[in-house]
Amino acid sequence: MIKRQTVDGIRKMKVAGERIPMLTVYDYPSALIAERAGIPMLLVGDSAGMVVHGYDTTLPMTVDDMILHAKMVTRASRSALVVVDLPFMSYATVPDAISSARRVMQEGGGQAIKLEGGQEILPMVHRLTAMGVPVMGHLGLTPQAQHQIGLKVQAREASAARQLLDDALALEQAGAFAIVLEVVPAPLAEVITKRLSIPVIGIGAGPHCDGEVQVWHDILGLYDNKTPRHAKRFAEIGAAIEKTVREYAEDVRAGAFPTSAQSASMPLDTLNEVLKADC
């Protein structure tokens, strides 16, 4: 029987010094492949708003959207811990957070949720974890706040770096089982990783975090636009898909596909009967 990864199992990976690969996926086929590849933790990210829905930001994503994507991922996943983002303003108050987390876990099937922010979300983290909801924090570049903080490296100055460390410690104290650090200086990420007893998952935060999270479309090169600095294109699947689609279209236009051999046959007697009936 396949056993699903747990929050405790993720914590033990840090204790054992085992690096934690995490991948952001949004649908059944990507989750199925990630599952077969042995990824222990999957994130159903609200970044789906940009890479799947075509929005300019993550902000238009709703709880219903996240539930839809979570359902697709959890249908495919049997062993990974599936973490689901709560979208913009869906956890503005403690009651909001409880309602959103309940729906994402009951309807979407997620096993944990992720919230962006520091001191301002501590009441939500306290309450949710007290009720048995595993919560992952997210600090640094928090895309839901991009209109306020910008899409740039965070916590470069001493005061901001100190605040980020304080926020990370506070989230751990509030009950978060792990934290994502996005686009922060590598030396700061290393300090935070060493100070916290919970796993720290980096993205654009250097090589010293306990693990790394990347977006499915980025590592596969599915889009031909510029790859984020913090990402690595491990393949050029987008170019391969485009080449395949072009070849398909060319074969159809040239009459080379489909062929009779690829079609169902019919006995000549049966066809003659059809033609007689038509007359």
CATH number for the domain that contains residue 126: 3.20.20.60
Name the active-site residue from 157, 182, 247, 250: 182
What type of residue sits at position 10?
A: I
The reply, when asked if residue 251 is annotated as ligand binding, is: no
- What are the residue ranges of helices labelled H in the chain? 7-15, 28-36, 48-51, 63-76, 94-106, 122-130, 146-149, 158-174, 186-195, 216-220, 237-254, 268-278
For range 238-242, the mean pLDDT: 96
Whether residue 177 sits in one domain with residue 246: no
Specify the pTM: 0.94
The reply, when asked if residue 56 is annotated as ligand binding, is: no
Whether residue 215 sits in one domain with residue 139: yes
The reply, when asked if residue 85 is annotated as ligand binding, is: yes
Query: In which band, very low, low, confident or very high, does the pLDDT at 225 lie, cut at 50, 70 and 90?
Result: confident
For range 261-267, the mean pLDDT: 82
Does the pLDDT of residue 278 top 70, yes or no?
no
Whether 182 sits among the annotated catalytic residues: the reply is yes
Whether residue 127 sits in one domain with residue 39: yes
Query: In which band, very low, low, confident or very high, does the pLDDT at 268 lie, cut at 50, 70 and 90?
Result: confident
Whether residue 111 sits in one domain with residue 155: yes
For range 90-114, the mean pLDDT: 98
Domain of 130 in residue numbering reads as: 7-235
Sign of the CA dihedral with 104 first, then 110, 115, and 116 last = negative
Number of domains making up the chain: 2
| pLDDT value for 107 | 98
